[in-house]
Amino acid sequence: MKFRFAATALAATLVVGLAHAQTELPQPATPAPAAAAPATVATPPAPVPSVSKAWILMDYASGQVLAGENVDAPLAPASITKVMTSYVIAAEVKNGKVKQDDQVMMSERAWREGGAGTDGSYSGFPVNQTARLEDMEKGMAIQSGNDAAIALAEHVAGSEEAFASLMNSYAAKIGMKNSHFVNAHGLTAEGHHSTAYDLALLGRAFVRDYPETYAYNKVKEFTVGNIKQPNRNLLLWRDGSVDGIKTGHTSAAGYCLMSSAQRGDQRLIAVVLGGASEKQRADDSLALLNWGFRFFETHRLYEPGKNVAEHKVWKGKADNVQLGVAQPMLVSVPRGRYNDLKPTIDVPKTLVAPFTAGQQVGTLKVTLDGKVVAQAPLVAIAAVEEAGFFKRLWDSFWMWWESE
C-alpha cells in the first residue's frame, strides 16, 4: 500500500512537470481530412569542401554544429588568428585599458616582421610613425596587415609575447579548449594552432560581444596613405548576406576562410581550413552557408523567467517550486521538424527546501528522433524558503512513509 501510494504520487508529479514542459512546444496541427499528407524527405548531406583539412558549419544563435569534419583537429589558423587579436583589443577597449583614439606606433619590429618587406600581407602604415588605434585595427582586419597586428599587440600589452598570453586567456573564456596562440598575426610558428570548432566559437563570440568591431570585417577596401588594398574575402562581393569574417593563407595552413552570413533572423558561421585556392575556399564556404540556410531553421524554445515545469518540494513554505531556464534556450532543426521536438525534464525524485532563485534543480532536454539537440540547466524561478519546525517535522514523516 505504501509503495503504491508513493509511486502514484511520484508519477503524478512527473506527468505534471512534463506536461508543463511540453506546452511550450506546440504539437503538429492535424491536417484537414481532404488534404494529402506532404511528402517528407531526409535532409541531404552537407556539401563537403572539395579540398580541406577541416571544416564546420555552426548555427550562431544556438551554437549547434550543423555539419563538419575533423572539427577538433589542431591546425595552423593562418591569418584567421587576427580575429582573436581583434577580439582581445575590443575587450581591452571595453575594459578601459586602451582607447580607439590612442596613437599606436608602427615599431621597427612590427615593420620588419610584418611590413612590405616580408612575403605576407601588410597594412602600409609607415615605420616609426603613429596612427589611431581604430585605423590600425582596420588595417589589420580589412587588409590583413601583419605589421598592424604586431603594432597593436605591442601597444595593448607591451610586447607581442605578452599579448599572446592575453589571447590565450580570452580564448579560454570563450571556450576554445584546443587552441594556443603564440603571435598576433598567424604566421606559422611552433605551438600556434586552433581548430575549426574553436574558430567557429570565436566567430560566434566576436559577433555577439563586439558587433561594432566585427563590422570592420565587411568593409571591402581600406586605404593607408596612397596604398589601397581590397578585403581578401571574396564572398563580400558574391553574397550580400555575408558580412565577414576573415581569410588566411600560409604554405603550412593552406587557404582558410572563416565566414558568416545573416539572412532574416538566422545567422550561420562557416570555417574551412586547408583549402587549395582563394576561389575554392570561397566556393566551398558559400555552398555550406547556402545549404545551412536552405535546410535548417532556428527556434527560441524557452525564455528566462518563464515557468517550464513545476515540482513538489518538501519542508518548504511553498509546496511546489517553479522551474525554468536561466538563458534563452534555442535549437536548430531541419526545416519542417519543429513539431517533432520532444522536451523532457530530469529532476531528482525528492526536492527539499530551501532553494534560492536561479539555483539549478535539474536539466531540461529537447530531443529529435531520440537524439538530444539542446539541453539547459533547469533552475528555480523564485526562491522557496525553508518552512517552520512543525511543517518540516510533518514532511519528514511523510518522506519516511513514502520511502518505505
Q: What's the pLDDT band for 39 if we cut at 50, 70, 90?
A: low
Cis peptide before 245 (omega within 30 of 0): yes
Per-residue pLDDT, averaged over 344-359, amounts to: 93
- Per the structure block, which three cell numbers stand in for 49? 569542401
Q: Please check whether residue 271 is in contact with residue 55, taking contact to mean a CB–CB distance below 8 angstroms.
A: yes
Q: What's the pLDDT band for 403 if we cut at 50, 70, 90?
A: confident
Among this protein's residues, is 79 annotated catalytic?
Answer: yes
Instruction: Inform me whether the pLDDT recorded for 6 exceeds 80.
Output: no
Phi, psi of 2 (to 5 degrees): -60, -45
Per-residue pLDDT, averaged over 259-266, amounts to: 95
Q: What's the pLDDT band for 404 if we cut at 50, 70, 90?
A: low
Among this protein's residues, is 144 annotated catalytic?
Answer: yes
Cis peptide before 47 (omega within 30 of 0): no
Indicate the class that CATH gives domain 2-24+306-403. mainly beta
Instruction: Inform me whether the pLDDT recorded for 272 exceeds 90.
Output: yes
DSSP assignment string, 252-265? TTEEEEEEEEEETT
**Which residue carries 571591402 as its cell?**
220
Superfamily of domain 54-296: DD-peptidase/beta-lactamase superfamily (3.40.710.10)
Q: How does pLDDT run across 273-316, given as a tens digit for each residue?
A: 999 999 999 999 999 999 999 999 999 999 999 999 999 999 99
From 53, 82, 312, 315, active-site residue:
82
CA distance 258 to 267: 13
Among this protein's residues, is 53 annotated catalytic?
Answer: no
- Per the structure block, which three cell numbers stand in for 92? 581591452
Ordered by start, the domain boundaries in the chain are 2-24+306-403, 54-296
From 52, 53, 62, 79, active-site residue:
79
From 52, 121, 144, 179, active-site residue:
144
- Per the structure block, which three cell numbers stand in for 11? 508519477
Q: What's the pLDDT band for 40 if we cut at 50, 70, 90?
A: low
Instruction: Inform me whether the pLDDT recorded for 66 exceeds 90.
Output: yes
Q: How does pLDDT run across 238-261, given as a tens digit for each residue?
A: 999 999 999 999 999 999 999 999
Q: Please check whether residue 272 is in contact with residue 254, taking contact to mean a CB–CB distance below 8 angstroms.
A: no
Known binding residue 246? Answer is: yes
